Amino acid sequence: MTAFLKIDDCKACHRALPWEWVPAILLGAKPLAGTGVWCSQLTGGLCPTCIATMETNRKKEQQALALRERVIDLLGGEKPYREFTFETFEVTPGNRLAYERSRQFSPSAENLYLWGPCGVGKTHLVYAIARHCFEETLSVTILPAGQLGRKVRMKDPVQEQAAIDEFVRAEVLVLDELGGGPDTAFSRQVLQEILDARDFHDRAGLVVTSQYSLDQLAAKMGDDRIPSRLVGMCQVVELKGKDHRLAGRPLAGGAVRDASGQAGDSAPPRGPAVG
Ligand SMILES: [Zn+2]
């Protein structure tokens, strides 16, 4: 065959690529039919570099989608996935410290205890922490504290120990609403075991939320073993503020709460209707 020069432009990067001579494949001494030809380097109008880039991008997109699914699974649904990010957190003077501690949280070195009344953003912050750590490929477990007993009970001793070990091993363990659920001797004993084991193994990455300060928690439990373990392990940060979930909702008297949770100045007086 005579040599000829044919050049194609990649339709993506517009690089000019000359056709290539693909040598014949010899079978015995004879060239295989259809081999020994000039070929374009393009496939579907694209050069090998552009095809490799597209393939890499496609894999990245697939990985991002798969990660999204796993985070939704971790957080327990689309809604927490949409809502519980650091970016959507509304910082106020009462929660600023908790927000900063949460953003800077180092799961390999710190444990965090966030407490304050309902609706000030504790769960939002710890879910954002969980999500961030999970996306950083750490193993993360979110455990509503009230379900602790249920998650471990009804199993034989070996399974029970395996369930406890999993909570001990998690690189990040979120214990949400401590003191908020049923407080049984069993769940308390399991929690004590988890905290002791994490502490003894120098495993950080525990994040706890509660409506109660550790003193209040000790009083509520009538036992200070768990609160004292937490004091020794955790940075304790209080969140203050009014329940943001009530902000903007009409009150019984027709007033609307502003962001601070106070009824607005322009609201009509509450109480028995006049006239
Ligand atoms: Zn190209």
Please tell me the distance from the alpha carbon of residue 244 to that of residue 193, in angstroms, as a whole number.
Answer: 35
Look up residue 108 and give its DSSP letter: T
Question: What separation in Å is there between the alpha carbon of 19 and the centre of ligand 1?
Answer: 14
Secondary element (H or E) of residue 26? strand 26-27
Looking at residue 122, its pLDDT comes to: 96
Question: What separation in Å is there between the alpha carbon of 4 and the centre of ligand 1?
Answer: 22
Question: What separation in Å is there between the alpha carbon of 23 and the centre of ligand 1?
Answer: 24
Looking at residue 174, its pLDDT comes to: 97
Looking at residue 170, its pLDDT comes to: 96
Q: How far is CA 83 from CA 43, 75, 127, 136, in A?
A: 43, 11, 10, 19
Looking at residue 254, its pLDDT comes to: 41
Question: What separation in Å is there between the alpha carbon of 15 and the centre of ligand 1?
Answer: 6
Question: What separation in Å is there between the alpha carbon of 230 and the centre of ligand 1?
Answer: 58
Question: What separation in Å is there between the alpha carbon of 22 and the centre of ligand 1?
Answer: 20
Question: What separation in Å is there between the alpha carbon of 65 and the centre of ligand 1?
Answer: 26
Question: What separation in Å is there between the alpha carbon of 45 and the centre of ligand 1?
Answer: 8
> Architecture of 84-245 per CATH?
3-Layer(aba) Sandwich (3.40)
Looking at residue 183, its pLDDT comes to: 82
Q: Which residues of the chain have pLDDT under 70?
A: 1-4, 244-275
Give the burial string for 16-35 (b: 16+ CB within 10 Å, else e).
Answer: ebebeeeeeeeeeeeeeeee
Please write the tens of the pLDDT for every residue from 170-194.
999 999 999 998 888 899 999 999 9
Question: What separation in Å is there between the alpha carbon of 16 and the centre of ligand 1?
Answer: 9
Looking at residue 244, its pLDDT comes to: 67
Two structure tokens written together for 41: 């380097």
Question: What separation in Å is there between the alpha carbon of 12 and the centre of ligand 1?
Answer: 5
Q: Which residues contact 181 (CB under 8 A, 6 or more apart)?
A: 144, 145, 146, 147, 148, 187
Looking at residue 4, its pLDDT comes to: 65
- CA nearest to 145, candidates 113, 110, 98, 105: 113
Question: What separation in Å is there between the alpha carbon of 53 and the centre of ligand 1?
Answer: 9
Backbone angles phi, psi at 153, to 5 degrees: -65, 170
Residue pair 178/145 in contact (Cβ under 8 Å)? The answer is: yes
Looking at residue 36, its pLDDT comes to: 87
Question: What separation in Å is there between the alpha carbon of 47 and the centre of ligand 1?
Answer: 4
The residues spanned by each domain of the chain are 7-76, 84-245
Please write the tens of the pLDDT for every residue from 90-141.
999 999 999 999 999 999 999 999 999 998 999 999 999 999 999 999 999 9
Looking at residue 181, its pLDDT comes to: 81
